[in-house]
Amino acid sequence: MTATTPSRADIAIDVHGFSKSFGGREVVHDLSMQVKRGTIYGFIGPNGSGKTTTIRMLCGLLTPDSGEGTCLGYDIRRDADKIKRQVGYMTQRFSLYQDLSVRENLEFVARLYGVRDARATAREMIKRLGLNGREEQLAGELSGGWKQRLALGACTLSNPQLLLLDEPTAGVDPKARRDFWNEIHALAARGLTVLVSTHYMDEAERCHEIAYIAYGHVLVHGTVDEVIAKSALTTYTVTGDNLTTLSAALSGKPGIDMVAPFGTSLHVSGRDKSALDATIAPLREQHGVHWQHSEPSLEDVFIELMTRSKDNFQ
Amino acid sequence: MSDEDNRADMVAEGIPERRFGFWRRCYAMMVKEFIQLRRDRVSFAMIVMIPVLQLLLFGYAINTTPRNLPTAVLLQEDSDLARSVLKALQNTAYFHFTREVHDVTEFDDLLLSGKVLFGVEIPRGFERAVRRGDDPALLVAADATDPIAAGSALSALSVIVQTALAHDLFVGDHPSPPFEIRVHARYNPASSSRLNIVPGLVGTILTMTMLIFTALSVTREIERGTMENLLSMPITPIEVMLGKIVPYVIVGFIQATLIIGIGVILFGVPLLGSLTLLAALSTLFITANLAIGYTFSTIAKNQLQAMQMSIMFFLPSILLSGFMFPFAGMPVWAQYIGEGLPLTHYLRIVRGIMLKGATLENLQYDSIDLLALMLLAMTVAVTRFRRTLD
Ligand SMILES: Nc1ncnc2c1ncn2[C@@H]1O[C@H](COP(=O)(O)OP(=O)(O)O)[C@@H](O)[C@H]1O
Ligand SMILES: [Mg+2]
């Protein structure tokens, strides 16, 4: 343990300059990240932005083309075996055995991690997951929500120090999603570090820290408040009549970077406050429409980041 | 058990208990494979159906004592002795004279077209030559493309004719007939004995099923997406391999027992040598094939490729191992290839033990070759096993 003692005990993931290409196309570019122990770190980004690829590099499933770093103090390139013992990885696609029952899957995982009494551990986990009565059901026959719970159970079975959850709530109903996040917070409260990728904004807001990744580039990271503050986005929330006409009228005008409907209101944002104000000045006088200066939402920030990154990287 | 207890377990196991962990992980893999096999009805059916079907198909042929085989007679002389010989032949019930022809071309045509399986030629001056003590030849031509049918009739020929003629002839006290029976096995000069079939079947059936079972095992995990989860857990390539092979060793063992059992009980194939030795070396052969199939699985990109590789391996195994054609009769280059196939060695082993009562000492080279082939395949498999998704 001497050579591999973490340089900083409070850092769970510490990587620098990760890059990965597939067939000449770079899908992760010069990625660096630091995740503190005991935090829930959200990995946000559109599909194909390199979230899965990054997570796979972290747990040794893919070898980075360049860059290095440590995971739980172990070198990612050299100590993949040691990392695997301490990390629970929940894959994006359900990858437990569909033709094994809930109990059999959990016992299999428990045995692989060398848990002493695999049967008892699996039984305990079934109880904790609320899967009683379904333990003999084949995993392939479970509904999406139950599959996801089972997968979470399987990757926490060995009491890992770090959880890597790749879009764990995709295609799961809101109630199950909420339960899932409560569970993740409970785990983090016990000292687990959780890296979770998602593209749900409400989930991003439940993370201690987030990183936004697009086209393999980390565009911004920090707490939700920091990310919003960093965005330098000016946002107005517009309520009233004929918002559709207004939205059409605003799009593409100078200073308007984004117009997005939110329920009965419209979010109008721009990076250049003076240009934005100049453009909307005549419109603010219109009857029946109420303009209110507001904080941009996380979603505004992300949508703006995504639009901008599209210009930069495509 | 609380989480703290679990964590304590993990810590307590740590590095000193690694070796123990090795067996535990192998065991985990084996249990998983067993359950999957049990649930996979098609594979399960294959385990039982392939040997039983094959045996019944072949066994039917083995079991049919050929009777009334269509035979042509080329009678070049119409003597009493000639008539007696023919009558003796017909009395054996093996031969049934369907045609009596008078020239050689017609005789050959009948054989060539398959209208008759045998042709008996009694040459001109046969009786006179016998009486003179010249030992003339009684020519029996056999269509040996079907060695099983032809073989038993021919092997019975000499004895039958002798006993049948014994009281008919003044030379009854002779130890052998006063003429020579000259057999021409046409089309397949080295007709293999029926006894070779069952031992040979043990080998070919095991080769086929064992290869297919493991050839699909790794590619299946990749195609179903379970490989990603498996690779993210602390399991090594050797553990995966052993876990995937061992359950099928038992399957193979059951198959071998089934085939050999039916062969001995139903078809009267002898088992002269040690049953323990046969079991041990069969297990070695089974494991070697599983290892080769598993190797294909680590090399192939998908299940189809793995299947194709297995077939590419299975065909030469059938053709060049001595199952189809006698090994010694093959060209040298083919023999070299044959030596690299587990089936070649196993055929020698299983035929040696069952039919000749061979001991381990007699079979040591074939056993060592099998072992070497198995270890080679395993080494390739472990080094080829991709530990990442790159
Ligand atoms: N094994 C692979 N081979 C080739 N391309 C890949 C592979 N894995 C991912 N990619 C590509 O890399 C990009 C990033 O993928 P991924 O990391 O899965 O993104 P995300 O998880 O953010 O949706 C995608 O365009 C995807 O098509
Ligand atoms: Mg993904």
User: What is the predicted ipTM?
Assistant: 0.88
Q: How far apart are CA A181 and CA A157, in angstroms?
A: 17
Highest mean pLDDT among A65-79, B111-125, B163-177: A65-79
The predicted pLDDT at position A89 comes to 96
In this complex, do A97 and B32 lie within 8 Å of one another by their Cβ atoms? yes
B259, pLDDT greater than 80: yes
* In contact, A9 and A32? CB cutoff 8 Å: no
* Nearest-by-Cβ selection for A121 from B1, B40, B233: B1
The predicted pLDDT at position B373 comes to 96
Quick one: A8-86+160-220 is in which CATH superfamily?
Answer: P-loop containing nucleotide triphosphate hydrolases (3.40.50.300)
Per-residue pLDDT band at B4 (split at 50, 70, 90): very low
B187, pLDDT greater than 90: no
Which residue would you say has higher pLDDT here, B156 or A197? Answer: A197
In this complex, do B389 and A62 lie within 8 Å of one another by their Cβ atoms? yes
The predicted pLDDT at position A160 comes to 94
Give A22 Cα–ligand 1 centroid separation in angstroms: 8
Share of chain B above pLDDT 70, in %: 78
User: Which range has the worst mean pLDDT, A42-51, A137-146, A225-234, B179-188?
Assistant: B179-188
Torsion sign over Cα B154, B159, B164, B169: positive
The predicted pLDDT at position A264 comes to 85
Per-residue pLDDT band at B159 (split at 50, 70, 90): low
Share of chain B above pLDDT 90, in %: 36
Contacts of A63 in chain B (CB under 8 A): 388, 390
A6, pLDDT greater than 60: no
| Among candidate residues B316, B363, B309, the one with its CA nearest the CA of residue B336 | B316
CA angle at residue B33 from B30 to B39, to 5 degrees?
140
Query: How does pLDDT run across A101-134, given as a tens digit for each residue?
Result: 999 999 999 999 988 889 999 999 999 989 999 9
B27, pLDDT greater than 90: yes
Query: How does pLDDT run across B115-155, given as a tens digit for each residue?
Result: 777 788 888 888 788 777 777 777 777 766 556 556 666 66
Highest mean pLDDT among A173-187, A188-202, B368-382: B368-382
The predicted pLDDT at position A3 comes to 43
Mean pLDDT of B253-260: 90
The predicted pLDDT at position A1 comes to 40
Query: How does pLDDT run across B211-245, given as a tens digit for each residue?
Result: 988 998 899 999 999 999 999 999 999 999 999 99
- CATH of A234-295, picked from 2.40.50, 3.30.70, 3.40.50, 1.10.1660, is 3.30.70
Mean pLDDT of A256-265: 85
Going from the N-terminus, what domains does chain B have, and what CATH number goes with each?
69-186 (3.40.1710.10), 193-389 (no CATH)
Query: How does pLDDT run across B10-22, given as a tens digit for each residue?
Result: 433 333 344 578 8
A232, pLDDT greater than 60: yes
Q: Which of A82, A95, A96, A115 to mutate to test the interface with B (most CBs of B within 10 A)?
A: A95
Q: How far apart are CA A150 and CA A155, in angstroms?
A: 9
What are the helix (H) ranges across B268-331? Answer: 275-299, 303-320
Could you tell me whether strands B137-143 and B180-186 are parallel, antiparallel, or unpaired per DSSP bridges?
parallel
Mean pLDDT of A182-190: 93
B29, pLDDT greater than 50: yes
Q: Which of A19, A22, A212, A215 to mutate to test the pocket of ligand 1 (most atoms within 8 A of CB)?
A: A22
Q: How far apart are CA A208 and CA A295, in angstroms?
A: 19
Cα radius of gyration (chain A): 23
The predicted pLDDT at position A301 comes to 87
Contacts of A154 in chain B (CB under 8 A): 229
**Whole-number mean pLDDT of chain B?**
80
How distant, in Å, are the alpha carbons of A130, B120, B215 from that of B139? 85, 6, 52
* Nearest-by-Cβ selection for A60 from B21, B36, B388: B388
* Nearest-by-Cβ selection for B226 from A87, A95, A112: A95
Give A61 Cα–ligand 1 centroid separation in angstroms: 13
B162, pLDDT greater than 70: no
Per-residue pLDDT band at B192 (split at 50, 70, 90): very low
Mean pLDDT of B182-189: 53
- What percent helix, strand, coil does chain B show, rounded to 5? 65, 10, 25
Query: How does pLDDT run across B193-209, given as a tens digit for each residue?
Result: 556 677 888 899 899 88
Pocket of ligand 1, beta carbon within 6 A: A 22-23, 27, 45, 47-53
Mean pLDDT of B321-338: 84
B377, pLDDT greater than 60: yes
Non-local (6+) Cβ contacts of A289 within 8 A are A238, A239, A240, A241, A242, A243, A246, A283
Which residue would you say has higher pLDDT here, B351 or B19? Answer: B351
Measure CA B25 to chain center: 36
B108, pLDDT greater than 90: no
The predicted pLDDT at position B160 comes to 65
Which residue would you say has higher pLDDT here, B88 or A206? Answer: A206
The predicted pLDDT at position A305 comes to 82
A3's enclosing H/E stretch is: none
In this complex, do A99 and B40 lie within 8 Å of one another by their Cβ atoms? yes
pTM of the predicted model as reported, rounded to 2 decimal places = 0.79
Work out which ligand 1 atom sits closest to the CA atom of A54: 17
Residue for token pair 């008996």: B120
Contacts of B231 in chain A (CB under 8 A): 61
User: Which range has the worst mean pLDDT, A3-7, A201-205, A243-247, B265-269?
Assistant: A3-7
Which residue would you say has higher pLDDT here, A301 or A122? Answer: A122
Q: How far apart are CA A301 and CA A226, in angstroms?
A: 11
A33, pLDDT greater than 90: yes
A156, pLDDT greater than 50: yes
In this complex, do A84 and B388 lie within 8 Å of one another by their Cβ atoms? no
The predicted pLDDT at position B60 comes to 64
The predicted pLDDT at position B378 comes to 95
Mean pLDDT of A198-220: 91
* Chain B residues interacting with chain A (CB cutoff of 8 angstroms): 1, 3, 6-7, 9-10, 13, 17, 20-21, 24-25, 27-29, 31-32, 35-36, 39-40, 224-229, 231-236, 387-390
Work out which ligand 1 atom sits closest to the CA atom of A167: 21
Which residue would you say has higher pLDDT here, B44 or B168? Answer: B44
The domain segmentation of chain A, as residue ranges, is: 8-86+160-220, 96-149, 234-295
